[in-house]
Amino acid sequence: MRFQFEHSYQQLPDCFFSRVAPLPASQPLLVIFNHALANTLGLDWSALSDEAIATALSGVTLPENADPIAQAYAGHQFGHFTQLGDGRAHLLGEHRTPQGERLDIQLKGAGPTPYARRGDGRAALGPMLREYLISEAMHALNIPTTRSLAVTATGDPVYREDVLAGAVLTRVAQSHLRFGTFQYTASTGQPEFTQHLLNYAINRHFPDCANHDNPALAFLQAVCDKHVTLVTDWLRVGFIHGVMNTDNMTISGETIDYGPCAFMDTYHPDTVFSSIDRQGRYAFANQPTMAQWNCARLAETLLPLIDSDTDQAIKQAEACVNGFSNQFTRAWRQMMANKLGLIDSEAQDDSQNNSQDNSLIEDLLQWMQTNQADYTNTFVALTAEHLPDDSIYHTREFQQWHSAWQTRIAPHLPAAKQTMKDNNPLVIPRNHQVAHALSAAESGDMAPFMALLFVLQKPYQTTSDTKKYQSPPAASERVYQTFCGT
């Protein structure tokens, strides 16, 4: 399997990375391979055996022209700054696709690096399959995300609370530049390193910024814009990342690192699943605020490049970061309007529509919270021609809301319904179903995993199995906590 590797990251100063080879798997076995993604990447995989693919993607025999490195970065983890880096990930290179796109190819769980901090550098099969499943589901939901090319079992034990089967995930990303990469360079106290990194990031992700009067400020604004869009999309589908530390925020605006993530069943803005988020810092409704906080940390690293006058630099950076809130509010209201089919009508006054639409959105969310309604299924029910025969929809409060909503969308009903269908998935990776699929996979049965993956790859289409995966968890099936798997 031949990658068209380039290695532009290695042109940065040596402090940005360490060259380190993956630890070869003792008994590599291909668990799952993303044929569709491989085709998009232009990889010639069809003539290869599973054994050959597993060998190439588990550190045994590196692909031709690979130059594995681990990247250095820092980050605020739950508000506390620390030096980090790829402790168990090896960037093999930047693959050029037939379309000319440059994409990182990384092995995750392929052994320790100089940044492992006494860790073993290994990953367990369950968490790697989980990232594969969720990242591919997010891609199908039209949400920016890293992708998963393969999961390969290593045949080596991983020692956590129990002895687990080891695995390596092959991750594909626009890049692995993180907010924490800039924090790392800023911590060196050498502004020229930050300038090198900024030039690299602009060239790779935001080339238009190079022509701006203030490239650093334009770059900051572009990154903020990306994360307004990203977090709005997360809230659209009820996604809770769980660990929005600055080292888990990409410059490209892709979702990355799916350790303790989860999808909300019953709607509540304070929903938290991550076992390590004990204070609810990264709760569902807190995610926009935390994204803005993270953007502020990125802005701090760019101050010397925004203006040589520190006061002026702070003033300009603050104006950019402070605009995040209003920008997000507009994006969120438009997203919620799309979920409810609230299309603007030329025959009605815009200000009247805005006020009415805001009330419809807020009243529905309050009703959902009070009645513990399922977030995804409520919007699916509204999109359908008729409401389900469920007592929750027969209350006086809901009927009054429903009547007002129907009146609002009536003048443009077909377009409203189509907009709703485009923005409301029929299925999401429900936590109890993910847990069941992973449990079976860890026991050697991949059938439940593959069945769930098939449905999640078509979240806006009705398939023969859609209904099966729409059911919220029974009381005995509820997942109350998720774990990062490291």
* Annotated binding-site residue? 467: no
* Annotated binding-site residue? 248: yes
Q: Which residues of 181-193 are buried (b: 16+ CB within 10 A; e: fewer)?
A: bbbbbbeeeebeb
- Are the beta carbons of 132 and 149 closer than 8 angstroms? no
Q: C-alpha distances in angstroms, 372 versus 264, 318, 364, 368, 473?
A: 11, 38, 12, 6, 13
Cα–Cα distance between 104 and 174 in angstroms, integer?
A: 6
Which one from 156, 247, 265, 357 is the annotated catalytic residue? 247
Cα–Cα distance between 166 and 129 in angstroms, integer?
A: 11
* Annotated binding-site residue? 85: yes
* Annotated binding-site residue? 120: yes
Residue 374 among the catalytic residues: no
Angle at CA of residue 275, ends 270 and 281, nearest 5°: 40
The CB-side HSE value for 14 (13 A sphere, CA atoms) comes to 2
> What's CA 148's distance to the chain center, in Å?
12
CA nearest to 113, candidates 25, 20, 178 = 20
- Token pair for 334: 């438009």
* Annotated binding-site residue? 88: yes
Amino acid at 97: T
What SS3 state is found at 83? strand
In degrees and rounded to multiples of 5, residue 187 shows phi and psi of: -70, -15
* Annotated binding-site residue? 166: no
What SS3 state is found at 151? strand
Give the number of residues written for the chain: 486
* Annotated binding-site residue? 108: yes
- Residue ranges of the binding site for ATP: 85, 87-88, 108, 120-121, 171, 178, 257
- Residue ranges of the binding site: 85, 87-88, 108, 120-121, 171, 178, 248, 257
The residues annotated with a catalytic role in the active site are 247
- Residue ranges of the binding site for Mg(2+): 248, 257
